Structures are given as structure tokens and as C-alpha cells.
Structure 1
Amino acid sequence: MIYVTRPSPEGEMLTQLFNQAKVPAQHLPFFNISQGHDLLNLQEQLNQLLPNDIVIVVSPQVTHVINTYLSNLILPANLRYYAIGKKSAQLFSQFTTAKVNYPNIENSEGLLTKLQQEPVQHHTILILCGNSGRQLLAQTLTNRKAKVKSIACYCRKPIHYPPNILSSNMEKQIIIIITSLEHLIQLELYSNLEHKTRATLVVTSQRIFAKAKQFKWQKILLVNSANNQKLFEAVTVNYGMTK
């Protein structure tokens, strides 16, 4: 059984990919996503930016909440736009004719590597994100003398499950897909030593990998992307689930 912990709708989409391939998978989201407290001020923040300032989109959830709560958003064309990954870039492109760039390695580290080629000093950078997370981006860009503002476009609210939600399935091979540090921390509420010895974690960045090691997980597969198709391919190929 594969457990997909990422929120809706991306979590359902990845679960569906596995199920269509006849691979048993269950969506077990750790967070509900709702409107963030900074979302209604997003247009004002964008209007204050100067030419060649930067906007960074951290996940598909940013576009999902904008479509739901702020569908009349207007993005200036004279800014530089970046996304953590291809899916986030594709979704966000619906709001602008400007190119939304993304790195080959689709995580925070990959984006920071791409931004090393870009002038950021004294530019304002808006990071469109959730109510927590992506501190690495903000801190690193601040260290490069950028004026960084994190805009909480969406809010994560933990979903609470019975403490034994995973324990009852330990007789089966379990793969748990984790796409953020926040998800890994929530997983700790439902994990025991047997999970950490027998189950395999699939994680999407070196930071999550390092934290999982710190939490004593024994089997960890690092996939340098939270793209659903890449996660699907990595899991099915590495664990012999393809025909």
C-alpha cells in the first residue's frame, strides 16, 4: 500500500495515477488547505513591485487558492516569475503572459541554484507560500541582500486521524510519500519504531531526507521533485511496480 500525504487536489491526482496502474494507493492528507491571511492583500503587494522584482510560487496550492478566492488577480508583466516546479509554473502561467521559470531540480534547493545566476540584491522578492514553510528560500535570499516578503496565500490546517491509522497496515509493504517538512512532522504523530524500520519514505528534498534520518527512518528514497508524474515514475520503477 502506498500512502500519499500531500493535500488536495494534487494528492488525489497522484493517488489516481497509482490506482490506474493497478498499484494500491490511498490518499491520506495531513492538511486541509484554506485561504491564507495575506491573500486579499496580494494584488496590493504586486502593484508595489518595481520592474525586475521577483515573484516566487512555492506550490500548486497557490494557484488553487487564487482561482477560488481571487480570480480577478492581475499580474504585472515587467516582473520576474519563478516557481518551485513545473506544475506550479504551468498553473501560475494562466495569470500572466510573462514566462514563469522553474529549475531542473524541482525543490527549494534547485530554485536557489537557478537564482544564483540572477541579480537579487536590493530587489523585492515576494514568496507566495503557505502559513509556514520555505524558510530556506527566504533566509538565503535575504542573505543575498534581497528584500524578501513571504505572502501567506494559503493556510494549512492539520487533519487529525486515530493514532493507529498506519499501524493496522504494517503487515503490508508500505510506502509513504512526503512532500514537505510539515508533512514529515505530522507523520511523527502516527509513526512508531516498526514503521521506521519496515516502511519506506519517499521524500522530495535533501532537507526532508536529512530530517527523516534524524527521526530514525531507515528506508528513504530521495526524489528531487514533487511533480506527481516524477514521483509516480520513481516509485513504480524503484520498487518494481511496472509491468
Structure 2
Amino acid sequence: MVVLVTRPSPDGEALCDALSSSGIQVIYQPLIQFTLGKDSPSLQATLQETDVVIAVSKPAVEWANRALHSKMQTWPDSIRYLAIGQKTADKLSEVTAQKVHYPEVSDSEHLLQLPPLLKPINTKVTILRGNGGRELIREELLKRGARVEYCEVYQRQTLLFDGHSRVKSWKKIELPI
């Protein structure tokens, strides 16, 4: 068996290592890469005016943390931190040294049921994310009276991929008997 791994770096390499160490043959072909987001330079100023931060993914936390550290800045301790799931919350808690709240079910709908988001009238909410994505959290919080801002801390960029030639080379891989 050969497994094709398309996750971006560094998670893609880690998955390949884990599969290989289990005796599984791996082909690594990332289809996207992450780069610095357009709002990263203003992250610290944004955080200074924020009441609640919502992190929607581990890459959002990692890139935000990278942006702060590159300017020798730290995460404010006066903010309430929320994350869409436990892994993202664990990472956010690690970098902020703060308690991070997250829903038991890792999705936007359940995140919106957390007590700090039920009546956020005049609360300034910053959503850490990449380029694009679902609009549900922002739209619902605006309806509930929050002031919401996206902070694009990373971008997903499509990598060039010549499918025809890559598939031809993959077909030449010898499988163990």
C-alpha cells in the first residue's frame, strides 16, 4: 500500500514520518503552502483593542504567534481567548499562557453557543484566520451586536502541480510484495 499525503508543511512531513515509521510507503505531494497573512503586521495593535479572540485553526495560532514573536511582542493577558476545537485551544493556550475556551464539538455552530458569545453586545471580537473561509461566526456575532474584525494571519497558496507527469512518476514506484 502507498499513501499519498497532500497536507501542507510542516504537518505533511510529520504525517509522512509517522506513516513511514509504521512501515507504510508514502508519497508526499503538498498542494498548498502557508505564507504570512496581510494583517500580520498590525496584529499587536489589533489585539490591544480586542475583548475576545477566536482562533479558527492551529495554523492561525502558529502564524499569529510567529508574527508577534518576530516583533518581540507578546499576547495580551486581558483578552478572553476562544478556539474552534481542542487542538487549536491547546496550541493557543500554550502560546498565550491563558485559559482558552472551546466547544465540545469542533465547529462554528457549537463555538457560537459558548457563553461569551451568546450576548456579545459591543464586544470587540477578532477572528484569527487564513484567507477565505466560512462567514458564519462573523455574521452571527454581528447579528448579536458584537463588533467583529478578521485578522488574516496566514494565507493558503496553491502550489504548482503537473498532475500528468507526477502520476506517471508515481506509477513507476515499486510496491513491496
TM-score tier after normalising by the smaller chain length: 0.7 to 0.9
Shift of 1:36: 0.8
Shift of 1:115: 5.5
Equivalent position SS for 2:75: coil
Equivalent pair of 1:125/1:149 in contact (CA under 8 Å): yes
Q: Which residue of 1 aligns with 2:175?
A: none
Amino acid at match of 2:147: K
Shift of 1:67: 4.3
Q: Which residue of 2 aligns with 1:101?
A: 101
Equivalent pair of 1:86/1:106 in contact (CA under 8 Å): yes
Q: How does 1:46-195 map to 2 (within 5 A)?
A: 46-49=47-50, 53-71=51-69, 72-114=72-114, 118-164=118-164
Q: Structure 2 vs 1, CA of residues 114 and 18 (structure 1 numbering), >3 Å: closer, same or farther?
A: farther
Shift of 1:148: 1.0
Report the structure number with the largest CA radius of gyration. 2
Equivalent pair of 2:119/2:145 in contact (CA under 8 Å): no
Shift of 1:168: 5.2
Equivalent pair of 1:92/1:100 in contact (CA under 8 Å): yes
Equivalent position SS for 2:19: helix
Equivalent pair of 1:73/1:95 in contact (CA under 8 Å): no
List alignment gaps of at least 5 residues for structure 1. Answer: 172-243
Amino acid at match of 1:32: Q
Please provide the CA RMSD for this pair.
2.7
Equivalent position SS for 2:120: coil
The alignment's TM-score, normalised by the length of structure 1, stands at: 0.59
Equivalent position SS for 2:164: coil
Q: Structure 2 vs 1, CA of residues 116 and 79 (structure 1 numbering), >3 Å: closer, same or farther?
A: closer
The alignment's TM-score, normalised by the length of structure 2, stands at: 0.78
Instruction: Kindly tell me the number of residue pairs found equivalent between the two proteins.
Output: 168
* Relative contact order, higher structure (CA 8 A, sep 6+): 2
Cα deviation code 1:168-211 (max 9, x no counterpart): 5999xxxxxxxxxxxxxxxxxxxxxxxxxxxxxxxxxxxxxxxx
Q: Output the CA distance in 1 between the equivalents of 2:166 and 2:104.
A: 34
Shift of 1:117: 6.4
Amino acid at match of 1:106: S
Percentage of matched positions with identical amino acids: 32
Q: Output the CA distance in 2 between the equivalents of 1:126 and 1:135.
A: 13
Equivalent position SS for 1:33: strand
Equivalent pair of 2:117/2:141 in contact (CA under 8 Å): no
Q: Structure 2 vs 1, CA of residues 164 and 38 (structure 1 numbering), >3 Å: closer, same or farther?
A: same
